[in-house]
């Protein structure tokens, strides 16, 4: 649910990075933070344990002028991937507008990936929504490692819709595939917003781009 502030002419969208523990969600936010000009972003907040694992969430606000007359903010959050933190994941997911699901491409993580995807579906259902109503993309991360599953197998596990959702191979530690996933989900979120508010056209807004420049 986008938050629209008419007085300030501002719309805020919430994008959540979801996925199994150690998949690379925090790394995505670190790379985005590192690549974007300081005037287009706020501070990256990382709440982690001593082992660098997300304890509550990571948060990165981005600014972008997209919808005419309004300034838009994208608020990026990650969830903690570890199984025990499900109550926290539920909190972070509240009022989500778009999701980047970061899967770990290593063979031994396939079960973690599917359990995390299932957990995301369950948590959304509890909030009376569903993954069918929320724009999302998949990111198959850690493609630099030797023991990875082929993309078509990961599609078979995670991308099961008749019309597949966008998915990206990524190496988050090298910032590869990071902006591709973010920009696609941002466009999908805006398109959904335009559709819902009948702003006149249902096309993906082409001018949306959260760029590194």
> What whole-number distance in Å separates Cα of residue 115 and Cα of residue 99?
16
145 binds, among Mg ion, ligand GTP, none (CB under 5 to 8 A by kind): ligand GTP
Helices (H), the chain: 25-35, 86-93, 110-126, 151-158, 178-196
Q: Alpha-carbon torsion 186, 136, 35, 213, what sign?
A: negative
186 binds, among ligand GTP, Mg ion, none (CB under 5 to 8 A by kind): none
Nearer to ligand GTP by Cβ, of 1 and 47: the residue is 47
**Residue 75: CB minimum distance to ligand GTP, A:** 17
Nearer to ligand GTP by Cβ, of 72 and 141: the residue is 141
**Residue 141: CB minimum distance to Mg ion, A:** 12
Q: Which two tokens stand for residue 81?
A: 């991937």
**Residue 190: CB minimum distance to ligand GTP, A:** 26
Q: Summarize as ranges the residues that interact with ligand GTP (CB under 6 A).
A: 19, 21-27, 52-54, 78, 80-82, 141-142, 144-145, 171-173
Q: Is 54 in the site for Mg ion (CB under 5 A)?
A: yes
**Residue 128: CB minimum distance to Mg ion, A:** 27
Nearer to ligand GTP by Cβ, of 66 and 171: the residue is 171
> What whole-number distance in Å separates Cα of residue 135 and Cα of residue 96?
10
> What whole-number distance in Å separates Cα of residue 71 and Cα of residue 128?
29
23 binds, among ligand GTP, Mg ion, none (CB under 5 to 8 A by kind): ligand GTP
Nearer to ligand GTP by Cβ, of 157 and 173: the residue is 173
Task: Give the residue, chosen from 16, 23, 26, 41, that forms a contact with Mg ion under the rule CB under 5 A.
Answer: 26
> What whole-number distance in Å separates Cα of residue 140 and Cα of residue 24?
10
Q: Which two tokens stand for residue 103?
A: 């899967």
Nearer to Mg ion by Cβ, of 26 and 113: the residue is 26
**Residues 6 or more apart from 24 whose CB is under 8 A from it?**
102, 104, 139, 141, 142, 170, 172, 173
């Amino acid at each position: 649910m986008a938050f629209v502030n008419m007085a300030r002419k501002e719309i805020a969208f919430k994008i959540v990075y979801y996925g199994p523990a150690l998949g690379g969600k925090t790394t995505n936010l670190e790379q985005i933070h590192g690549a974007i000009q300081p005037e287009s972003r706020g501070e990256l907040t990382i709440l982690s344990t001593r082992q660098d694992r997300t304890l509550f969430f990571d948060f990165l606000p981005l600014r972008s002028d997209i919808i005419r007359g309004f300034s838009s903010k994208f608020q990026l959050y990650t969830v903690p991937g570890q199984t025990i933190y499900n109550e926290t994941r539920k909190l972070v997911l509240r009022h989500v507008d778009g999701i980047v699901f970061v899967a770990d491409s290593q063979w031994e993580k396939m079960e973690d990936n599917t359990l995390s995807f299932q957990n995301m579906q369950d948590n959304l259902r509890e909030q009376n929504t569903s993954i069918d109503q929320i724009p999302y993309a998949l990111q198959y991360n850690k493609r630099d490692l030797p023991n990875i599953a082929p993309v078509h197998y990961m599609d078979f596990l995670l991308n099961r819709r008749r019309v597949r959702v966008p998915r990206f191979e990524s190496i988050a530690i090298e910032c590869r595939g990071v902006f591709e996933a973010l920009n696609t989900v941002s466009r999908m979120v805006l398109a959904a917003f335009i559709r819902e508010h009948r702003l006149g056209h249902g096309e993906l807004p082409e001018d949306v781009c959260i760029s590194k420049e």
